[in-house]
Amino acid sequence: MERGHGGHQQGKIYVVGIGPGDAEHMTQRAQSVWNEVDVVAGYKTYIDLIRPWLADKKVVATGMRQEIDRCREVVEIALAGQSIALVSSGDAGVYGMAGILIECLEEKDALDISLEIIPGVSAANAASSLLGAPLMHDFAVISLSDLLTPWEVIQKRVKLAAEGDFVMAIYNPKSKGRQDQIEWVRQAVLDYRDPQTPVGIVREALRGESQVIITTLAEFTQSPIDMLTTVVIGNSHTRVIGPYMVTPRGYIL
C-alpha cells in the first residue's frame, strides 16, 4: 500500500508485518524493504528476529508498551527526511502498528508522508497451519487484552461469536496480570458448544520451537497457556482427523 504525495523533503514510512517470526515465513517484500530505508524501528524482540538483514543499518529499538512514542519518533524521522521501516510482528494491520502510525501521522498533520503497509502472515494463520485447517469456515478473531478494551465488550463479543458458531481465534489469552479470562471464555462457549469441541493451543507458532496441543473445550484451560499462545476454538462441525484439527468447509466427500 502506497499513499501520500511524498513531499520531496520527507522520507517514506514503511510499516512492515514480518510474519510469525521464522525468516522463511516472511514475505519477499518484507525481506527486501530493509535495503530501501535509512532507519529501522520497532520493539526489541521483533528487531532481533530480523537482525540478520540489518547489517549496520541504524536501528531504533524500544520496549513494550511504548507504541505511541515509537510511532511519534518514526514520524519525526520521516519529516526530517529519512526513510524508515517500522516493524510489526505477524500482520502489521492485525492488532499491529499500522493503525497507531496513521493516527500519529494525523496528530502531526503529516498525512502527506508517503506510506507503504506491507502485510504479513498473522498469528491466527500461522497457528492454524500447525493445527491442520481449523479456519476453513467463518471465524472471529478476538483479543482478551483488556488494557485498551473494556472487559464487558470482550465478553459480549465472545458470547455472540459462540452463538454464531464462528470458529474463534483468541489472541492474548493470558498475561501475568490476567489469568482468569480464558476460563470465563471456556464457560461462555460451553453454553453453546459441545464439551468435546476441538480446541487448538499453539505457542510461538512458527517462531523457533512451536508447541502444539489439540484438546477439547471441556479441558483446554488445563493446558499451559500464556501471552505467546494463540487459542483456536472449533465450531460445531470442527473435527479431529488423525493428528489434525479440521473445520470442514462443507464439501461432502
Task: Point out which span in 45-53, 100-108, 180-188, 221-229 binds a second copy (CB under 8 A).
Answer: 100-108
Answer whether 39's CB lies under 8 Å from 85's CB: yes
> If DSSP codes are grouped into helix, strand and coil, which group holds residue 49?
helix
Answer whether 16's CB lies under 8 Å from 127's CB: no
Q: Which of residues 12-51 bind a second copy (CB under 8 A)?
A: 17, 19-20, 23-29, 31-32
> Of the two residues 208 and 243, which places its CB atom closer to a second copy in the complex?
243
126: contact with a second copy by CB under 8 A:
yes
> Which residues touch 90 (CB under 8 Å, ≥6 apart)?
17, 18, 19, 20, 96, 120, 121, 122, 123, 126
The residue among 114, 70, 104 whose CA lies nearest residue 88 is 70
> Of the two residues 218 and 237, which places its CB atom closer to a second copy in the complex?
237
Nearest approach, Cβ of 181 to a second copy (angstroms)?
A: 14
Answer whether 66's CB lies under 8 Å from 42's CB: no
Q: Which of residues 70-99 bind a second copy (CB under 8 A)?
A: 91-96, 98-99
# residues near a second copy by CB under 8 A: 83
- Quick note: the x/- pattern for a second copy over 138-177, rule CB under 8 A, is xxxxxx---xxx---xx-xx--xx-xxxx-----------
